[in-house]
């Protein structure tokens, strides 16, 4: 919102806070232990379900790849037996690694400590994987020996397996099995870290949505008490003056206005057509109070009727113009409201022919303009802005709001352009 110098509204950009769940470690690293993954859409996904999908899929895909590499050398069936037993051992042993790493993470171990633990466990588990694989292969060959038709097919595989040590792996096998386990641990940590980042991002987004929603409701709810206080003062004045008829009409109109606004309290945006209805109700109340001192013209392009605007965006601007512009002159004055579309921008203008900023004077912006600026920032950020200051032509004060043009629905074709003088 600009001050009398003509400066443009400065948008406030608020970044999300760092929301990092988990247990702090000794070096400040936070290990997330949550069991659910929160997506930005609000949906949640079980970490256990995702782990099993990735675990099964990863081992199956890797085993299939190695099987395809070994088929030309030893044949499809021997390669299938070898890779099935090999993958089964690795699949089972990495489940044990997962349990240990989970416990360490829940205990608050840092990523550095977890990495060293994973490296040590991989080196220790590699010989176990090797021994289990060799033992299962030998047991499988004993079964194959009962089928003469398969003996020749598995002959090469049997020779190579029987030549391997049974209880301790050669250094090359040890390094291979250790490398595979280290790779699995790296993928486990990497995927968990990515999921934790997604979880934190989604939680931050959801927190901002909730905060913005609460902020908008709070800002919007400020309008009713502020306007209600002024309206009740007007009713009290009419009653004291003995004008019971106008006071009764004002009470009825005020009740209709408050009923309509309460129904839209949790609605951040409404079509221009509904916003104009609010403005007309408000002006009817003010006309009952001030009579001929208040002259208002509302002019809206028909193509803007279905455009979305913040709920009660015009009412506080009109009220500000009435109080500080029109009624600031003993003879009253005029207020002009216009709604136009400029390409993809919706322009709302509220002008009065009151004193304006004057020579060195300060126009009282009041709650209405401040509230409007904050609501625009909360709803649109940098996509909307507002200017306020002296009218470009003639005496008075002007407030112009620029919003992104977005359609709420189809505008009835029979509606024509209106210019209502109240």
Domain segments of the chain as ranges: 23-206, 243-421
| pLDDT tens-digit series, residues 333-385 | 888 999 999 989 999 999 988 887 754 444 455 566 777 887 788 778 788 88
Mean pLDDT of 77-100: 87
Mean pLDDT of 217-229: 59
Q: Which pLDDT score is estimated for 348?
A: 95
Q: Which pLDDT score is estimated for 350?
A: 93
E strands, 148-265, in order: none
Mean pLDDT of 193-198: 79
For 326, residues 6+ apart whose C-beta sits below 8 A from its C-beta are: 293, 294, 295, 332, 333, 334, 335, 352, 353, 354
What is the average pLDDT score of the chain? 75
pLDDT at 278 over 80: yes
CATH code given to domain 243-421:
3.30.565.10
| pLDDT tens-digit series, residues 376-421 | 887 787 888 899 888 887 788 899 999 999 886 544 444 343 343 3
Q: Do the beta carbons of residue 87 and residue 61 sit within 8 Å?
A: no
Pick the residue with more confidence: 233 or 207?
233
Q: Which pLDDT score is estimated for 367?
A: 62
| pLDDT tens-digit series, residues 303-329 | 999 999 988 888 888 888 888 888 778
Q: Which pLDDT score is estimated for 5?
A: 33
| Proportion of the chain above pLDDT 70, given as a percent | 72
Mean pLDDT of 87-95: 90
| Proportion of the chain above pLDDT 90, given as a percent | 14
Q: Which pLDDT score is estimated for 119?
A: 92
- Which tokens sit at 202? 């989604």
- Residue whose C-alpha is closest to residue 310's, from 277, 261, 268: 268
Distance of alpha carbon 138 from alpha carbon 143, whole angstroms? 9
Q: Do the beta carbons of residue 346 and residue 402 sit within 8 Å?
A: yes
pLDDT at 33 over 50: no
Q: Which pLDDT score is estimated for 340?
A: 94
Distance of alpha carbon 309 from alpha carbon 192, whole angstroms? 42
């Amino acid at each position: 919102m600009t001050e009398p110098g003509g400066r443009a509204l400065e948008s406030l950009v608020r970044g999300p806070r760092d929301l990092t769940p988990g247990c702090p470690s000794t070096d400040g690293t936070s290990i997330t232990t949550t069991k659910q993954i929160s997506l930005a859409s609000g949906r949640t996904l079980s970490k256990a379900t995702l782990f099993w999908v990735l675990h099964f899929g990863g081992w199956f895909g890797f085993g299939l790849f190695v099987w395809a590499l070994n088929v030309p050398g030893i044949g499809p069936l021997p390669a299938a037996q070898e890779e099935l037993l090999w993958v089964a051992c690795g699949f089972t042993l990495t489940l044990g690694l997962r349990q240990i790493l989970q416990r360490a993470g829940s205990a608050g171990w840092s990523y550095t400590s977890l990495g060293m633990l994973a490296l040590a466990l991989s080196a220790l588990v590699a010989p176990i994987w090797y021994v289990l694989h060799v033992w299962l292969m030998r047991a499988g060959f004993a079964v194959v020996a009962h089928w003469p038709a398969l003996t020749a097919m598995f002959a090469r595989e049997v020779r190579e397996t029987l030549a391997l040590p049974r209880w301790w792996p050669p250094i090359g096998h040890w390094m291979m099995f250790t490398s595979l386990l280290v790779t699995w641990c790296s993928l486990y940590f990497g995927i968990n870290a990515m999921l934790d980042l997604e979880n934190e991002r989604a939680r931050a987004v959801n927190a901002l949505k909730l905060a913005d929603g609460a902020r908008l409701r709070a800002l919007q709810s400020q309008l009713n008490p502020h306007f209600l206080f002024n309206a009740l003062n007007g009713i009290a004045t009419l009653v004291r003056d003995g004008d019971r008829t106008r006071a009764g009409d004002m009470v009825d109109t005020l009740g209709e206005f408050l009923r309509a606004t309460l129904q839209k309290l949790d609605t951040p945006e409404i079509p221009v057509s509904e916003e104009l209805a609010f403005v007309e109700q408000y002006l009817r109340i003010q006309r009952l109070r001030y009579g001929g001192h208040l002259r208002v013209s509302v002019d809206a392009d028909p193509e803007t009727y279905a455009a979305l605007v913040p709920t009660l965006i015009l009412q506080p601007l009109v009220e500000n113009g009435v109080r500080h512009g029109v009624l600031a002159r003993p003879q009253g004055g005029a207020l002009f409201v216009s709604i136009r579309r400029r390409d993809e921008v919706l322009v709302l203008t509220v002008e009065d022919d009151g004193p304006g900023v004057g020579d060195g004077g300060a126009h009282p912006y009041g709650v209405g303009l401040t509230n409007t600026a904050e609501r625009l920032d909360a709803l649109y950020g940098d996509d909307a802005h507002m200017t306020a200051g002296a009218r470009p032509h003639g005496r008075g004060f002007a407030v112009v709001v620029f919003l992104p043009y977005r359609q709420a629905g189809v505008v009835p074709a029979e509606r024509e352009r209106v210019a209502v003088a109240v």
